[in-house]
Amino acid sequence: MKKYLKIFLVFSLISFSSFVNAKEVPPSFADLAEKLMPSVVNIFTTTTITSRSNNFPFEFPPGSPFEDMFRDFGTPEERKASALGSGFIIDEKGLVVTNNHVIQGADDIFVKTDSGEVFDAKVVGTDSAMDLAVLQVESDQNFKIVKFGNSDSARIGDWVIAIGNPLNLGGTVTAGIISAKNRGIGMNRYEDFIQTDASINQGNSGGPLFNMNGEVIGINTAIYGQSGSIGIGFAIPSNSAQRVVDQLIEFGETKRGWLGVRIQTVSKEIADSVKLDRPRGALVMSVAENSPSDKAGIKSEDIILEFDGKIINEMKELPKIVAETDVGKKVNVKIWRNKREVNKEIILGRLETSEDFKSKGVITEKPKEKRIEGLKIGVRYLNKKDIEMRGLPKDISGVVITSIDKDSPINYLQVNNIIVEANSRKINTIGDLDNIVKMKLKGNEKILLIAIYNNQNQRTEIGVKLK
C-alpha cells in the first residue's frame, strides 16, 4: 500500500510541476519595462477657469430666485487649473494616444518623455464616446513607438504591466494579471473593458496596458472607487480602440455605423411569449423615423438575432458591432418576427450625423402624446420643464399620464402621475412603456410591476393586473 502511495505522490508532484512550468512566471519585468519606457509619456494640461467672487457676507440656498439675481454681481476671477495623465507613442513623428478626459477642455497640452524632454502638443482628434484622443507632439525628432496587440487573444490570468504617470510619479511600472474581460461599468454604450489587478491610480489614465510581448492590449481608463487602487482597474481593449484611433488620425473624427433603434434585453419571459427557443438577441423597443432601420422595415417588437453574419447573444453586443461596421455598408440583419426568422437588408447610416447622436441617444417619437391601450391611459413625454417645476431628480426619465379611462386597470392613479419603470426596466420613451405592456399581454402571466411618482413626488411600486 505504501509503495502505491509513494508512486501516486511522485506522479502528482510531477503532474503539478508540469502544470506550473507550462508557462513560467516571469523572473523579472525589468527587461520589458526598460524596452517600453521610452514610448510612454506623461501628459500635463492647463485650463483657464473663470469664476465670480462672492462679495456678499451671505449665501443663498440652491434654487433660490435670488441666487440667479445676484450671481453676476461678483468680481470675475481667472485661475489656471492643471491636470495630468499618461499616453503612449504610436508613430515615429510623435502621434500619442491617450484618454479624451485627460485633455478635454485644455488650453495647453504638454508631453513629457522618459528622457525628461517636454514638448507642446496639439489635438489631432477626440472621441468622447469611447474616451479616446490622439495628440501630435510638436517636434522634428523621431520617437520610439509601441504597437497595438490583439486584445481578443488575451486571456483571463495572463500577465500584464501598466506604465504611466500616477499621482505625477512618471515612469511608474506596475504588474498584474487580466482579471476579467468584457466588463461593463456604465461609462458608455460601447464598453467592454479589460479588468486588471495591476495597480492603476489617478494619472494612469490614457497609459498603456502591455502584454508580455510588449504590445498594447489596453488603454488604462478607470479605477473602481475614488480613493486609489484597490486592485480593480479597467482598460479599453486595443481591438476596440485601434479602429477609433485610425479614424481620428485619418479624419479627425469618428464615423460609426448607425441603425436607429432603441433596444433592450430579451428576458426569458419575453422569449417564451414570442416562442423564441431561449433568451438571445436584442429586442427593438422603438425605431427612429427615417433611420436605416425604418427604411428597411424593422419594427418595434422585432428581435435582432444576427447582424452582418455576427450572432447577437446578448443585447449589449449589438451597439458595439454596429458602431464598428463601415458607414454605407449594406448588411444582412436576421430578426425574429411572428415566431419565425426574417432577413432584412439595411444600409448603415452614420451615428455622428444622426438625430440619435444629436439628442444623446434619445429617439424622437411621434406623436408626443399617445395612448397605451393595454393600460387604457394616455401619456406624454416627461420634459425638462416638468422636472424643474416639480423639483424631480435631474436624471429622471419617464412618461406623464394625461388621461385615464374609467375601466383602466390603474384607474386609481391620477393625471400627471409619472411612470418611470415597468418590470424593473427604466422608461425613456413612450414606446418603451407601450412595448413592455404589449409583451406582457402576450404572455401567460399578466401582472405588470410599475414604478410611479405621484403628484406629491413620492415614488411608489404598483402591481397591475392587465386585462
Residues forming the active site: 101, 131, 205
Angle at 266 between CA 283 and CA 402, to 5 degrees: 65
- Answer whether 392's CB lies under 8 Å from 453's CB: yes
Q: Are 168 and 277 in contact (CB under 8 A)?
A: no
Angle at 456 between CA 455 and CA 457, to 5 degrees: 90
C-alpha cell at 273: 411569449
CA distance 342 to 292: 17
Write out the three cell numbers for 149.
Answer: 496587440
Torsion angle, CA of 128/133/101/47, rounded to 10 degrees? -120
For 195, the 3-state DSSP assignment is strand
Handedness of CA 188, 348, 262, 281 (dihedral sign): negative
Q: How far apart are the first and last CA of the chain?
A: 74
Provide the 3-class DSSP secondary structure of residue 129. Answer: coil
Angstrom distance (rounded) from CA 180 to CA 227: 22
**Which residue, 158, 274, 278, is CA-closest to 218?**
158
Closest CA to 322 of 267, 255, 264, 237: 255
